[in-house]
Chains A and B, each alone.
Chain A
Amino acid sequence: MSSSALASFPFFRAVAGAWSTMSPAALLGMAIVVFWLIVTLAGPSLSPHDASAIVDPDVFGPISWQFPLGTDYLGRDMLSRILYGARYTVALALAATVLASATGTLLGLYAAVAGGWFDASLCRALDALISIPSKMFALMMVASFGSSVPLLIITAALGFMPGAYRIARALAVNVQALDFVQAAKARGEGMAYIGCVEILPNMIRPVLADFGLRFVFTVLLLSGLSFLSLGVQPPDADWGSLVRENIGGLSEGAPAVLMPALAIASLTIGVNLLIDNLRGKRKDAR
Chain B
Amino acid sequence: MKPLVQVEGLRVVARNDAGVEFPIVKGVDFAINQGEVLALIGESGSGKTTIALSLMGYARNGCRIAGGSVRIGDKQVLELDDAGLSGLRGRTVAYIAQSAASSFNPSRTLMDQVVESAAIHRTLSRAKAEAKAVELFRALALPDPEHIGARYPHQVSGGQLQRVMAAMAFITDPALVILDEPTTALDVTTQIEVLRAFRNVVRQLGTTAVYVSHDLAVVAQMADRIVVLRDGEIRENGETAQVLEAPAHDYTRCLLAAAEPVERDIAIAAPAPQRMPVPLLQIRGLCAGYGAIGRDGLPAKRILTDIDLTIERGATVGVIGESGSGKTTLARVVAGMVPSARGQVLLDDAPLPDGSHGRTREQHQRVQFVFQNADTALNPAHSIGAILARPLSFYLHLRGDARRKRVLQLLDLVKLPASIADRLPGELSGGQKQRINLARALAAGPDLILCDEITSALDTVVAAAILDLMAELRRELKVSYMFISHDINTVRAICDEIVVLYAGQKVESRPRAALGDAPFHPYTHLLVSSVPKLEMGWLDTVCARGAAHLPTLAPLPAASDAALCGFLPRCGVRIDGLCNRLPPPRQQLPNGGEILCHHTPAALIPLQAPLQRFEEVA
The interface of chain A, by Cβ under 8 A from chain B, is: 178-180, 182-183, 185-189, 197-198, 201-202, 285-286
Contacts and interface: CB of A to CB of B under 8 A. Distances in A.
A271 B336 CA distance: 46
- Majority secondary structure, B binding face: loop
B361 interface: yes
Given A186-B356, A186-B364, 11 more contacts: A179-B373, A179-B377, A183-B440, A185-B356, A186-B337, A186-B369, A187-B364, A187-B394, A201-B379, A201-B381, A202-B380
B394 A285 contact: no
Please provide the 6 A-B residue pairs with the shortest distance between their CB atoms, ordered closest to farther: A201-B381, A188-B364, A179-B377, A179-B376, A180-B379, A179-B371
B541 interface: no
B391 interface: yes
A179 B381 CA distance: 14
B336 A186 contact: yes
A180 B394 contact: no
A178 B390 CA distance: 18
Contact of B369 (A178, A183, A198, A202): A183
Contacts of A198: 379
B335 A186 contact: yes
B394 to A, nearest CB: 6
Contact of B376 (A178, A187, A201): A178
Nearest to A189: B394
Interface in B78-129: none
Nearest to A202: B381
Interface in B324-378: 335-337, 356, 359, 361, 364-365, 368-369, 371-373, 376-378
A186 B364 CA distance: 7
Given A186-B335, A186-B337, A187-B391, A180 B356 contact: no
Interface of B: 17, 61, 335-337, 356, 359, 361, 364-365, 368-369, 371-373, 376-382, 390-391, 394, 440, 444
A28 to B, nearest CB: 22
B292 to A, nearest CB: 14
Contacts of A202: 379-381
A180 B377 contact: yes
Nearest to B394: A187
A180 B335 contact: no
A19 to B, nearest CB: 15
Contacts of B390: 187
Given A188-B361, A188-B364, A285-B17, A182 B371 contact: yes
Contacts of A180: 376-379
A179 B61 CA distance: 27
Contacts of A185: 337, 356
A196 to B, nearest CB: 12
- Interface hub of A179, A183, A188 (most chain B Cβ within 10 A): A183
Given A188-B364, A286-B61, A183 B381 contact: no
B588 to A, nearest CB: 35
B596 to A, nearest CB: 30
B377 A183 contact: yes
Contacts of B361: 188
Nearest to A21: B17
A209 B364 CA distance: 38
Nearest to B361: A188
Contacts of A186: 335-337, 356, 364, 368-369
A186 B450 CA distance: 11
Contact of B337 (A178, A182, A197, A285): A182
A185 B372 CA distance: 16
Contacts of A286: 61
Contacts of B372: 179
Nearest to A198: B379
